[in-house]
Amino acid sequence: MGTAVSASRQTEGSVMAALRSPRRLRTEVLAGLVVALALIPEAISFSIIAGVDPRVGLFASFTMAVTIAFVGGRPAMISAATGAVALVIAPVMRQYGLDYLIATVILAGVLQIVLSVIGVARLMRFIPRSVMVGFVNALAILIFTAQIPHLLGVPWLVYPMVAVGIAIMVFLPKLSSVVPAPLVAIVLLTVATLVFSLDVPNVGDEGELPSSLPSWLIPDVPFTLETLKIIAPYALATALVGLLESLMTAKLVDDITDSHSDKTREGWGQGVANVVTGFFGGMGGCAMIGQTMINVKSSGARTRISTFLAGLFLLILVVGLGDIVALIPMAALVAVMIMVSVGTMDWHSIAPKTLRRMPFAETAVMLVTVAVTVATHNLAYGVIAGVLTAMVAFAHRVAHFTEVEKIGEADIDHDGDIDTRVYKVRGELFFASSNDLVYQFDYVDDPRNIVIDMSDAHIWDASTVATLDAITTKYESKGKKVEIVGLDAASEQRHGRLSGHLAGH
């Protein structure tokens, strides 16, 4: 049964299967068109954040989407210029100019390829579910708050237009799903704006659209160690942020589509896409959660066709049909992104019933992830903070599972005194749980022979070995002998290798 489902999902994501099915091909084509329309204002706004010409962001979105469609590991995921990458590389543009920025993007791509080849994608297994939920909820909040500037200080007509756009996307799918509801909303609101000559902000107000195709470009920077020192820190930060966002987004799409993707391929695919983007004068990027949700969740796309067409349509729209695209009211795109934020939010995770049932530590991890992400506008920072919080919470919880118990005395000497005392240690022993172990023994009143039974415990780190050495030393200073018994093979090997070699000199 599981194999059949897996095969079904694989077929669903197949390009050839989509090409043979007119219905599915239409879904992929229309999804790509909707994503391309949504990418335009985003790419322009991210270009402004990075301090570059809008064309740099738009060309980056085109080259990223087209390249990742071929080399990426997650079908139907959209990669383009992003705010997180723009924030990281903006200082390079301010201090050194466009050529250094492009060199940084190319080096970041190379680093992403190297990191992926050495297995950084496997670290995804260490990201807990609560961090993933926080990541998703933070994205929903960021997508929504990014629309607020488009709703402030605008003509009153913008508000009913946004409301109409949202209503179309809520109610149209109940009647028909032949055409993606976001595309219908964009077309109808654009037509209404033109027919009634409505004076509302449009895409053209966001920035100048390019009138020519991107061309091959080699950054004009000195190929010296000094240049490497300048760009390397920013390139590494860009590579890590891009990989983290892309792999997290890929995992989210896996969950939505109930399918599995090749995270290692996705990682080096992002690197290849950034290298290509740099050589075409783009600002670099990574996976885009908002546009990916439009593609996968709102439009129902499942293959690389939609990703490729999103990039192709973007180029056609901004270069060939720029005058028409410039007339699209921002209200239509704001409505689309508001619905994306609503659909992205994990509402179940913040329901009172769920919060009451969920352990406090899990909720705290989710809230930390959300808070840091929203405060910094950087998903990487939020995820790192969430993982660190989860690690601390886990260590605190596990530390309380350790206990020491006196299980009896043995070997009465010829004077009738107790000769041996046995302690039983239970639990997982590591730096957090073993710190208090040294205080659990009666060094003064215990007899001269001590047996510490570790058959129900496991030694995980050097801190525990150091603690056991400290216990032994304390007893020996009072003329008493300690014997540690019951260690499993791994614990015994670790203890034998480190014991006696950890004390400071």
Mean per-residue pLDDT, 27-41: 91
The whole-angstrom separation of Cα 195 and Cα 197 is: 6
Q: What are the tens digits of pLDDT across the range 146-181?
A: 889 999 999 999 999 999 999 999 999 888 877 888
pLDDT band at 505 (very low <50, low <70, confident <90, very high): very low
Q: Can you name the residues that pair with 404 across neighbouring β-strands?
A: 425
Vertex 177 angle, CA 175 and 182, to 5°: 100
- DSSP code at position 294: I
User: Residues 176-197, buried b or exposed e (16+ Cβ, 10 A)?
Assistant: eeeebbbbbbbebbbeebeeee
Q: pLDDT: is 228 or 326 the higher one?
A: 228
CB 314 within 8 A of CB 34: no
Residue 489, classified by CB atoms within 10 Å of its CB into exposed (0-12), middle (13-18) or buried (19+), is: exposed
Mean pLDDT of the chain: 88
- The number of C-alpha atoms within 13 Å of 179 and in the hemisphere containing its C-beta is 11
pLDDT band at 1 (very low <50, low <70, confident <90, very high): very low
Q: Which pTM does this prediction carry?
A: 0.75
Q: Please tell me whether residue 157 adopts helix, strand or coil conformation.
A: coil
Predicted confidence at residue 277, as pLDDT, reads 96
The whole-angstrom separation of Cα 46 and Cα 298 is: 23
Largest Cα–Cα distance in the chain?
110
Q: What are the tens digits of pLDDT across the range 281-324?
A: 999 999 998 889 889 988 899 999 999 999 999 999 988 888 88
Report in angstroms the alpha-carbon separations of 259 from 76, 279, 305.
Answer: 12, 33, 17
Predicted confidence at residue 410, as pLDDT, reads 60
Q: What are the tens digits of pLDDT across the range 90-133?
A: 889 989 999 999 999 999 999 999 999 998 888 777 788 899 88
Q: What are the tens digits of pLDDT across the range 452-483?
A: 999 999 999 999 999 999 999 999 999 999 99
Q: What are the tens digits of pLDDT across the range 343-370?
A: 888 899 999 999 898 889 999 999 999 9
